[in-house]
Amino acid sequence: MRRLYIHQLSDWPEFRWAGDKIAALLGRVRHQQGRLIGRLESLGFSLRSEAELKMLTLDVLKTSEIEGEILDAGQVRSSVARRLGLDIGGLERVDWQVEGIVEMTLEATHRYQEPLTIERLFDWHAALFPTGRSGMTRISVGAWRKDRLGPMQVVSGPVGRERVHFEAPESSRLDGEVQRFLEWVEDDAELDLVLKAGLAHLWFLTIHPFDDGNGRVARAITDLLLARSEQSSHRFYSMSSQIRRQRTEYYRILEKTQRGNLDVTDWLEWFLACLSRALEGAQETLGSILHKAEIWERLRPAAINSRQKQMLNRILDREFKGKLTTSKWATLTRCSQDTAHRDISELMELGILAKNPGGGRSTSYSLADIPKNFP
């Protein structure tokens, strides 16, 4: 006999869980949230803005990567910065794919206090697919799926040997299913909002109401509820980034839960552990931002031009891949080889850059150990 999915069970969606098993994890996450917010409140506006820009950019990139879509990091950063009203210099031209996901991500968190409605979900979906297509396929945008070609399934594997991981409810059920979900999101005041975020993520993915984009919308709903749990529209950690790191495990626990019964203890344990790691990662990111601020404070007396500042920021932000060479400097700052060589030589004379071992065509440079009493 074929095993039922949880949405086919008679008591769907009456989720249950072992409170004693998740209590310690929930307490840890709540403590981490408070610790992070407290640490951020002690920072100045510019450092908080930089932390938020970094995390929102990462969140947008990673929620798309989970679905196999690779976005341009520079475009995402430019789009986020413009919407946050931040001056980062040299804003890049942004494609509609980037604008849509950034718009949805920020709308979900910046308006976290507003009710989650069908209209909002449709607006998010339309932002993700403004052309009405997913790749080469025309889809229903800002509307529930119709299942014209058969049931909505999550599959993997080559054509002819596909493996079905999940089959969603029939499209005829969607109006009622979504309405019940939205009423629960807004009306169940007794449930801790962090737990609600985990349950909402699972519940929305199980309904799977859209032709495409369900994962990205589910993660936006999660971020909205986490923002409510913190009473803050500012995002300083990325749940999507951590899910991306644990992508295989993420899909495994989803499939297991959706094919199980309505005891979702294992899912909530996984969700809370994932969130805890995301919060730990935010502490590390915040540490790197504070280190960068400290370095710039030391360099304040130095005469540094805009190209040099741009490249030093790339190094300090750990966004620079590979070794720093004169050619890369010239390419990234759009200057001549001679100008790049002069920029690097000046920073070496100041003791800011140092030449790496080796020479000739492989000559490369790295950040020097800048003393506190620089220069």
pLDDT at 359: 63
242 and 340 inside one domain: no
How many Cβ atoms from other residues are within 10 Å of residue 301's Cβ?
A: 9
Residue 142 lies in a domain: yes
Q: Is 374 in a helix, a strand, or coil?
A: coil
CA 313 to chain centroid, in Å, comes to 22
HEC assignment per residue over 95-127: CHHHHHHHHHHHHHHHCCCCCCCHHHHHHHHHH
Query: Looking at residue 115, which CATH number applies to its domain?
Result: 1.10.3290.10
pLDDT at 212: 94
pLDDT at 111: 96
Residue 301 lies in a domain: no
φ and ψ at residue 191, rounded to 5 degrees: -80, 135
- Of 256, 289, 322, the residue at which a domain comes to its end is 289
**Distance of alpha carbon 138 from alpha carbon 134, whole angstroms:** 6
Residue 297 lies in a domain: no
Please give the model's pTM, rounded to 2 decimal places.
0.83
336 and 245 inside one domain: no
278 and 316 inside one domain: no
63 and 159 inside one domain: yes
φ and ψ at residue 254, rounded to 5 degrees: -60, -50
**Distance of alpha carbon 61 from alpha carbon 240, whole angstroms:** 9
* Identity at 40, one-letter amino acid code: L
Peptide bond into 13 cis (omega under 30): yes
Residue 296 lies in a domain: no
pLDDT at 358: 72
How many Cβ atoms from other residues are within 10 Å of residue 90's Cβ?
A: 9
Cβ-count burial 352-373 (b if 16+ within 10 Å, e if not): bbeeeeeeeeeeebeeeebeee
pLDDT averaged per 10 residues, the chain (length 375): 84 96 97 90 81 91 93 91 80 83 96 97 96 87 89 82 88 96 90 97 97 96 97 91 96 95 97 96 82 79 87 78 86 90 90 81 83 75
Which residues span the domain enclosing 101? 6-289
Residue 1 lies in a domain: no
The Cα angle at residue 219 between residues 8 and 104, in degrees rounded to 5:
125
Q: Is 46 in a helix, a strand, or coil?
A: helix
312 and 285 inside one domain: no
Tokens in use for 271?
A: 């969700």
**Distance of alpha carbon 119 from alpha carbon 133, whole angstroms:** 20
Contacts of 221 (CB under 8 A, 6+ apart): 108, 116, 185, 197, 200, 201, 204
Strands 353-355 and 163-167: unpaired
Tokens in use for 323?
A: 């070794």
pLDDT at 367: 86
Residue 375 lies in a domain: no
Beta bridge partners of 367: 353
310 and 282 inside one domain: no
> Residue holding tokens 């690097």?
344
Residue 46 lies in a domain: yes
122 and 159 inside one domain: yes
Residue 354 lies in a domain: yes
**Contact between residue 80 and residue 106 where contact means Cβ atoms under 8 Å apart:** yes
**Distance of alpha carbon 122 from alpha carbon 128, whole angstroms:** 10
Query: Looking at residue 338, which CATH number applies to its domain?
Result: 1.10.10.10
